[in-house]
Chain A
Amino acid sequence: MLVKIALAGNPNSGKTTLFNALTGSNQFVGNWPGVTVEKKEGKLKNHKDVIITDLPGIYSLSPYTLEEVVARNYLINERPDAILNIIDGTNLERNLYLTTQLIELGIPVVVAVNMMDVVNKNGDKINIKQLSKVLGCEVVEISALKSTGIAEAAQAALKAAREKKEVVPQHSFSGSVEHTIAHIEEAVLHDLPEQQQRWYAIKLFERDEKIIEKLKIDVKTLSHIEQDIAKCESELDDDAESIITNERYSYIASVIGSCYTKISKGKLTTTDKIDRIVTNRWLALPIFAVIMFLVYYVSVTTVGAFLTDWTNDVLFAEWVAPAAAAGLEAIGCAAWLQGLIVDGIIGGVGAVLGFVPQMLVLFLLLAFLEACGYMARIAFIMDRIFRKFGLSGKSFIPMLIGSGCGVPGIMASRTIENDRDRKMTIITTTFIPCGAKLPIIALIAGALFDGASWVAPSAYFVGVAAIIISGIILKKTKIFSGNPAPFVMELPAYHMPTLGNLLRSMWERGWSFIKKAGTIILLSTIVIWFASNFGIVDGKFAMVEDLGQGFLASIGSLIAPVFAPLGFGNWQAAVAAITGLVAKENVVGTFGVLFGFAEVAEDGSEIWGTLAASFTAISAYAFLVFNLICAPCFAAIGAIKREMNSAKWTWFAIGYQTVFAYALSLCVYQIGTLIIDGTFGIGTVVAFVIVALLLFALFKPYKQSISLKTKGVPQGM
C-alpha cells in the first residue's frame, strides 16, 4: 500500500536539506497545479512504497499567501497519511506556531526538531519528552545538516502513518472560544469525520472565506454562527483572527516555559555580528555593490562567458556542426536536409545549450546567496527603491544579470517568493539591453550617429525607464492588483550551506530550463530556418540561395507597412527584426545579407553607408528602441515560459513587450520628426495620445486589493 507523508515546516527550517536526505536522488520536481509554486515529491530511501511530498515553506495555514493556500489545500484535500513537521530548534517559538495548526488537522503528526547540534552547542536545552507530552505527538531530534536522527524521523513518521494514530490536540483556547467552536461544529460540521471538525471549526471562527466557500454554507447558517462569533469577539474585545493568533502564541509560551532552557540569551550571535557590518547603514550598499559585481563578473563576464563561448564557438561551431555536416555528406544526405540539421537543428540546440554553462555558474552563486541567508538581506536593503515600481528588492539580481544575458536573468527571478513581484520582474527584465543587443546599438551608433558616445548609455537609460514605467503602470492594472504583497519578512540566521545542496539546486534549475525552454526554442528556430531558406522561385517551391527571395522576405514585405509609422517601413528592417527573435545579434548579420554582403563585422561597419541611406537618424533610433524593448529572443521567451509556467502569461509578457516597444518607438519617431523637421500628421497626434495615456496610467490613483485570488488552484478553493 502506498504511504503518503507530507513534509511541512517554516522557510529556513532546513526542510530542503531534510527532504534531500530522506529521498536521495529519487525526486520529481514539478509545479503545483495551476500555480508557479514548485512541487517536489520523492520516494523515501529504501522504501519504494513511501512518497514524501515537500510542501512549500510556510509560517501559518492562513488563506493569504499562495504557498499557504497550496499547502493547506493539499493537506485537507489529499489528506496524507502523516505529516512530518520540521521545526528549527534555535527558533522554537515561531516554528511551533505552525505546529499548533498542523496538529488540529486530524492527521498523524511527527515533529522533528532540527539543528539540535547548534542548540546543544549554545548550551541550550530542549526537553524532548516533555515537548512530546504537551504537544500530544511524537517528537524526534535531528540535524539535517549533520545527517543525524534522519532515519529515526523517517521511521517515526512511517509508524505514525501506518498506525493511523490520531493526534489529539492538547491545547485548548479560552472558555468562550471553545464554546463558540463547539457550537460551530454542532451547527455546520457534524457531517464531517470527527477528527477533521476542529480544524474547520477554527477556520470558520476566523471567518476564513475560502473555507466558507468550500463548505458551501448557506446564508442562514452563516448568520447564525456569525452571531456566536460576534458575541465571543465582544466578550474578549478583539477580532476572531487576533483572538486565535494571540491564544496560540500564549499557549506556545507555556510550552516553551516547560521544555526549553535558554542559556545563550543576550549574547551576540554570529548572525548579529555579520549583520552589524552587512546591513550597516553606511556599509550595506557598498558591500551589496561589491557582491553584485562579483556575481556578475564571475557568471557573465569571466567563467560564464568563457564556458558559453566555448560551447557556442568551439563545441558546436567547430566540432559538432562540421562533424554532423561531414557525416551527412558521407551518407549522401540531401542538401536541404543537411542544411536543416546542421544550421537549423544543431544551431537551435546549440542556442539552448550554449546558455546552460553560464546559467549553471549563475545558479550556483544564487543558490549560495539564497542558502546562506544573504538574499533576504538584499530584499531588506533594496526594498525601498523597487517596491515603488511594483517590484521586489530581489528584482535587482535578475536585472543585473539581464544586462549580460536575459535568459539567466529571467531564470534568476525564481528567488522572488511573491508571485506578483516575480511575474512583473520576468516581464521587465529583458528591457535591459543584453550582450546580444550591443551589436545593434553599435550598428545604429556607427551608421547614423557617427559613433556618438551617448547612444549606448541612452539605450540603458531607455531600458531602465521602460522598467520603471511598466512597473508603475502594470501594478495598477487589475491582473496585478489582485495579490497583496505583505513585506513582513524573516531575516534568517546566516549559515554555511552544504555543497551537495547547492549543486542539486543548480542542476534542478538548469535541467528544467533545458527541458521546458528547449522545445520552444528548437521549434521556433526550425520554423525561422525554413522561412528564410525556402521560397517560391520561378513559380516553384524551392530552396533559395538568397535570403531576399525566401518566405521570410515575403513576410517582411507584408508586415513592413506596420512599421511605417515608426519610420522604418522597409522590408529589410522587418526581416531583421524577425531574425532578431532567433538571437538579437542576428539583426546586424541579416542587414548585411540583405544589403548584399556575405559576411559583416560584429558592428556591421561594411553596411553603415547603405544603412545611412535607408534610415534617418530619428527612424534609426526608433528602430533601435523597438528592437531593445520588443519580444526577446526565443531562448528568453523559452525562459519566460518556464518561469511563468503558463501559456497565457507567456503570451501576455511578449505581447505587452511588443506593444509597449511599438508605442515607445512610435513616440520617438513621430515626436522626433516634429521637433527636427516640423512634420505634423496623424502619426504625431497618435504619438501625443500615447504620451497622454502613459502619463495618465503613471499618475492615476491606485489602491491595493487585499484579497488573494488563486484561480487555478484545484478543488475549487
Chain B
Amino acid sequence: MPFERGFLNIQGLKYERLDIHAVSDALIQSVIYECGKVGRSKFMNTLKEVKTGQTVIVKKLHGEGATKRRIMDMGITKGVEVNIRKVAPLGDPIEVNVRGYELSIRKADAEMIEVQMA
C-alpha cells in the first residue's frame, strides 16, 4: 500500500524521495497539503476563529507568496499582539488592531495565521 506508506512517513517525505514506489511529486505534494489542512483545522487556533474583542499572539504564518508577504509587511509577524475589533456587517472581512492601527483582512487569509491566546 504505497499510499499508506507515504501517509505514515509524511514527516520523512521532505527528505526521502520514495525510490521504491512510483509516486509522483504532485501526489506527494497533495498528500502533504491535505494532511496540513486536517492538522490546521483540527489542532490549531487561527485568527479566523478568534472572537471579537479578544487579543491573541501570532504563533506562525502559513501559506506563501504575495498574500503572506503582504500580511507580514502590514505588521502581522510572529509574536505580535493582535486584537480582533469587529466583523464586517456581511460576516467577512474582519477588522483587527495590530501595532497601533486598524487593519481589515479576509477570513480566508486570517485562516493562514496561527495564533495563541495572549
Contact yes or no, B70 A64, CB < 8 A? yes
Q: Which of B73, B79, B87, B101 contacts A60 (CB 8 A)?
A: B73
In the bound complex, CA of A486 to CA of B88 (Å): 17
In the bound complex, CA of A382 to CA of B80 (Å): 28
Contact yes or no, A488 B67, CB < 8 A? yes
Digit string of B44-80 for contact with A (CB within 8 Å is 1, else 0)?
A: 0000000000000000010011111111111101111
Contact yes or no, B75 A380, CB < 8 A? no
Contact yes or no, B65 A94, CB < 8 A? no
Asked if A487 is at the interface of the complex by the 8 Å CB criterion, the answer is yes
Digit string of B84-118 for contact with A (CB within 8 Å is 1, else 0)?
A: 00111111110100011111111001000000000
Chain A, residue nearest B106 (CB): A487
Contact yes or no, B105 A384, CB < 8 A? no
Contact yes or no, A94 B99, CB < 8 A? yes
Contact yes or no, A242 B77, CB < 8 A? yes
Nearest chain A CB to B112 CB, angstrom units: 11
Interface hits, A341-376 → B, CB 8 Å: 376
User: If A242-B77, A487-B106, A488-B74 touch, does A384 touch B91 (CB 8 Å cutoff)?
Assistant: yes
In the bound complex, CA of A332 to CA of B19 (Å): 95
Contact yes or no, A384 B93, CB < 8 A? yes
Asked if A679 is at the interface of the complex by the 8 Å CB criterion, the answer is no
Q: Chain B residues with Cβ under 8 A from A94's Cβ?
A: 74-75, 99-101
Q: Chain A residues with Cβ under 8 A from B66's Cβ?
A: 64-65, 484, 486, 706-708
Interface hits, A238-265 → B, CB 8 Å: 238-239, 241-242, 245-246, 249
Q: Which of B68, B86, B103 contacts A489 (CB 8 A)?
A: B103
Asked if A559 is at the interface of the complex by the 8 Å CB criterion, the answer is no
Nearest chain B CB to A567 CB, angstrom units: 41
User: If A241-B72, A486-B67, A706-B66 touch, does A279 touch B86 (CB 8 Å cutoff)?
Assistant: yes
Contact yes or no, A249 B80, CB < 8 A? yes
Asked if A381 is at the interface of the complex by the 8 Å CB criterion, the answer is yes
Q: Chain A residues with Cβ under 8 A from B71's Cβ?
A: 486, 488
Contact yes or no, B89 A491, CB < 8 A? no
User: If A62-B69, A381-B90 touch, does A93 touch B75 (CB 8 Å cutoff)?
Assistant: yes
In the bound complex, CA of A382 to CA of B100 (Å): 25
Chain A, residue nearest B108 (CB): A487
In the bound complex, CA of A97 to CA of B104 (Å): 19
Contact yes or no, B67 A241, CB < 8 A? no
In the bound complex, CA of A387 to CA of B75 (Å): 24
In the bound complex, CA of A708 to CA of B65 (Å): 10
Q: Chain B residues with Cβ under 8 A from A484's Cβ?
A: 65-67
Q: Chain A residues with Cβ under 8 A from B61's Cβ?
A: 242
Contact yes or no, B86 A490, CB < 8 A? no
Asked if A155 is at the interface of the complex by the 8 Å CB criterion, the answer is no
In the bound complex, CA of A487 to CA of B68 (Å): 11
Q: Give the interface centre of A65, A380, A382 by most chain B CB atoms within 10 Å.
A: A380
In the bound complex, CA of A646 to CA of B37 (Å): 42
Chain B, residue nearest A88 (CB): B101
Contact yes or no, A383 B92, CB < 8 A? yes
Contact yes or no, A59 B69, CB < 8 A? no
Asked if A281 is at the interface of the complex by the 8 Å CB criterion, the answer is yes
Asked if A285 is at the interface of the complex by the 8 Å CB criterion, the answer is yes
Contact yes or no, B72 A279, CB < 8 A? no
Contact yes or no, B106 A383, CB < 8 A? yes
Asked if A282 is at the interface of the complex by the 8 Å CB criterion, the answer is yes
Q: Chain B residues with Cβ under 8 A from A242's Cβ?
A: 61, 72, 77-78
Contact yes or no, A490 B102, CB < 8 A? yes
Q: Which of A64, A387, A491 contacts B104 (CB 8 A)?
A: A491
Chain A, residue nearest B65 (CB): A706
Q: Chain B residues with Cβ under 8 A from A285's Cβ?
A: 89
Digit string of A51-74 for contact with B (CB within 8 Å is 1, else 0)?
A: 000000001101011000000000
Asked if A91 is at the interface of the complex by the 8 Å CB criterion, the answer is yes
Digit string of A583-627 for contact with B (CB within 8 Å is 1, else 0)?
A: 000000000000000000000000000000000000000000000
Q: Chain B residues with Cβ under 8 A from A282's Cβ?
A: 89
Q: Which of A92, A279, A387 contacts B95 (CB 8 A)?
A: A279
Contact yes or no, B77 A488, CB < 8 A? no
Asked if A284 is at the interface of the complex by the 8 Å CB criterion, the answer is yes
Q: Chain B residues with Cβ under 8 A from A493's Cβ?
A: 101-102
Asked if A558 is at the interface of the complex by the 8 Å CB criterion, the answer is no
In the bound complex, CA of A242 to CA of B30 (Å): 24
Q: Chain B residues with Cβ under 8 A from A238's Cβ?
A: 78
Contact yes or no, B104 A380, CB < 8 A? yes
Contact yes or no, A93 B77, CB < 8 A? no
Nearest chain A CB to B56 CB, angstrom units: 17
Q: Which of A246, A488, A706 contacts B103 (CB 8 A)?
A: A488
Contact yes or no, A380 B88, CB < 8 A? yes
In the bound complex, CA of A387 to CA of B88 (Å): 14
Q: Give the interface centre of B64, B65, B69, B74 by most chain A CB atoms within 10 Å.
A: B69
Digit string of A218-256 for contact with B (CB within 8 Å is 1, else 0)?
A: 000000000000000000001101100110010000000
Digit string of A90-124 for contact with B (CB within 8 Å is 1, else 0)?
A: 01111001000000000000000000000000000
Asked if A385 is at the interface of the complex by the 8 Å CB criterion, the answer is yes
Nearest chain A CB to B26 CB, angstrom units: 14
Contact yes or no, B103 A383, CB < 8 A? no
Q: Chain B residues with Cβ under 8 A from A381's Cβ?
A: 88-90
Q: Chain B residues with Cβ under 8 A from A487's Cβ?
A: 93, 104-106, 109
Contact yes or no, B87 A281, CB < 8 A? yes
Digit string of A376-410 for contact with B (CB within 8 Å is 1, else 0)?
A: 10011111110100000000000000000000000
Q: Chain B residues with Cβ under 8 A from A92's Cβ?
A: 100
Q: Chain B residues with Cβ under 8 A from A62's Cβ?
A: 69-70, 73
Interface hits, A683-717 → B, CB 8 Å: 706-708
In the complex, besides A285-B89, A380-B93, 12 extra interface pairs with C-beta distance below 8 angstroms are A64-B66, A91-B100, A93-B99, A94-B100, A97-B75, A246-B72, A246-B78, A249-B75, A384-B92, A487-B109, A488-B104, A490-B74
Q: Can you name 16 A-B residue pairings with CB atoms under 8 Å? A: A64-B69, A92-B100, A241-B72, A242-B78, A246-B79, A279-B89, A379-B104, A384-B90, A384-B91, A384-B92, A488-B67, A488-B103, A489-B104, A706-B64, A706-B65, A707-B65
Sort A-B residue pairs by CB-CB distance and give the 9 closest, nearest first: A706-B65, A60-B73, A64-B66, A491-B102, A384-B90, A245-B72, A486-B70, A486-B67, A284-B89
